């Protein structure tokens, strides 16, 4: 089939736009990430004198970095519509966020849609595959205190011990509030066949849009972060705060990401922007942690039930283009998530100004010394 002039122009424009976006992303990383590291090196005396203020500043810088990532998708027209419970209501409480995992773009989507949720982004901890440590953003996550988990049966027990130690050492000492994990343990396309075979063998539901979750990390987080029991009930939810003490993990936020036609956005698309503007849909359900069972078998069943519900949510979404209404209601209400372009431009400008400042400083020091 012959290519028309209009088609050739469209392809050429898409390629040029992708090249310019990639160049901007590289420049953005070259100034923003080193600036983040250098600011925190300069602030090490503050870390010794006032650790709380140091981690507050680090959290603000971390949120700005995630906003820069969000801006790449936002300016490409990759927006988010939210459904279900309003998580802003619990943004100041401690929460564990369980998310289905389809592609690398899931993390970028969360970086975007959590930007307007108060202090959440600067006070959150991520659990991610250890390979992420070796990406350009790995040094930022290491400093921030995220946990890199190594997948595979041979590493599982050791990784859970390391996760427990990590939470005890870094979660509350750095005033973290939300912890985000992907319990499926990998991308849908990679785990679906194995999960379906396991389900068939153990007489469990056949799932197409999600996989059966793994228990380990969820159980460790609940055991480590839920406050000690009082009167037989975990002191989460509406428990009274003790003076000077954390209320502990109070909520589990079941988060379901859905892409139109089941076509997820990957990180390459997010960066290059060659896909047409796309609306990603994110559904939230909030559960008080006191309603989550602690015993392994009961917790496994509870976690499986959440992902069976995700399957139903996604099936309804792919059939109708919308999530179903909450139980007892006749209509589902959606909320369009928005970001301020002025704010994003301001953050990007600050990053490039910081990069210029550090460059001039090092040039000055070099000439002074040599």
pLDDT at 229: 59
pLDDT at 240: 36
Domain locations in the chain as residue ranges: 5-227+247-369
What sign for the dihedral angle of Cα 151, 152, 155, 160? positive
User: How do the pLDDT tens digits run along the chain, 370 residues long?
Assistant: 566 777 777 778 889 889 999 999 999 999 999 999 999 999 999 999 999 999 999 999 999 999 999 999 999 999 999 999 999 999 999 999 999 999 999 999 999 999 999 899 999 999 988 888 888 889 999 999 999 988 777 778 899 999 999 999 999 999 999 999 999 988 998 999 999 999 999 999 999 999 999 999 999 999 999 976 543 445 444 433 343 466 899 999 999 999 999 999 999 999 999 999 999 999 999 999 999 998 999 999 999 999 999 999 999 999 999 999 988 788 888 999 999 999 999 999 999 999 999 999 998 888 888 7
Residue with tokens 């041979």: 154
- CB-based contacts of 169: which residues, under 8 Å, 6+ apart? none
Quote the CA–CA distance of 286 and 63 in Å, as a whole number.
23
Residue with tokens 């990390």: 217
Nearest to 300 by CA among 232, 224, 202: 202
Neighbours of 263 (CB within 10 A): 11
Sheet holding 178-181, edge to edge: 147-149, 124-129, 178-181, 95-99, 251-258, 278-288, 78-84, 334-337
- CB-based contacts of 24: which residues, under 8 Å, 6+ apart? none
What sign for the dihedral angle of Cα 297, 302, 306, 311? positive
């Amino acid at each position: 089939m012959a290519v028309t002039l209009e088609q050739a122009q469209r392809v050429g424009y898409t390629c040029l736009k992708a090249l310019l976006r990639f160049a901007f992303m590289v420049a953005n990383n070259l100034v923003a990430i080193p600036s983040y590291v250098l600011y925190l090196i300069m602030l090490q005396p503050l870390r010794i004198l006032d650790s709380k203020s140091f981690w507050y500043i680090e959290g603000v810088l971390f949120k700005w970095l995630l906003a820069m990532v969000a801006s790449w998708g936002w300016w490409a027209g990759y927006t988010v519509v939210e459904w279900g419970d309003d998580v802003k209501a619990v943004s100041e409480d401690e929460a564990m966020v369980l998310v289905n995992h389809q592609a690398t773009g899931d993390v970028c989507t969360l970086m975007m849609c959590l930007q307007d949720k108060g202090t959440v982004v600067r006070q959150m901890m991520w659990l991610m595959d250890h390979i992420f440590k070796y990406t350009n953003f790995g040094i930022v996550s290491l400093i921030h205190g995220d946990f890199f988990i190594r997948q595979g049966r041979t590493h599982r027990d050791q990784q859970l011990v390391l996760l427990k130690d990590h939470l005890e050492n870094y979660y509350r000492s750095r005033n973290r509030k939300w912890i985000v994990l992907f319990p499926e343990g990998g991308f849908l396309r990679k785990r679906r066949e194995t999960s379906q075979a396991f389900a068939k063998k153990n007489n469990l539901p056949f799932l197409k849009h999600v996989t059966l979750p793994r228990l380990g990390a969820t159980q460790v987080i609940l055991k480590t972060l839920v406050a000690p029991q009082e009167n037989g009930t975990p002191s989460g939810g509406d428990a009274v705060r003790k003076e000077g003490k954390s209320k502990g993990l109070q909520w589990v936020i079941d988060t379901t990401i859905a892409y139109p036609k089941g076509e997820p956005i990957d990180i390459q698309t997010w960066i290059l922007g060659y896909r047409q503007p796309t609306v990603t849909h994110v559904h939230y359900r909030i559960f008080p942690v006191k309603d989550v069972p602690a015993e392994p078998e009961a917790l496994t069943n509870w976690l499986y039930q959440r992902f069976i519900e995700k399957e139903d949510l996604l099936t309804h979404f792919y059939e109708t283009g919308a999530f179903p209404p909450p139980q007892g209601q006749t209509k589902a209400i959606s909320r369009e998530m928005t970001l301020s372009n002025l704010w994003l431009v301001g953050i990007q400008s600050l990053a490039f100004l910081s990069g210029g400042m550090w460059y001039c400083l090092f040039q000055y020091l070099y000439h002074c010394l040599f």
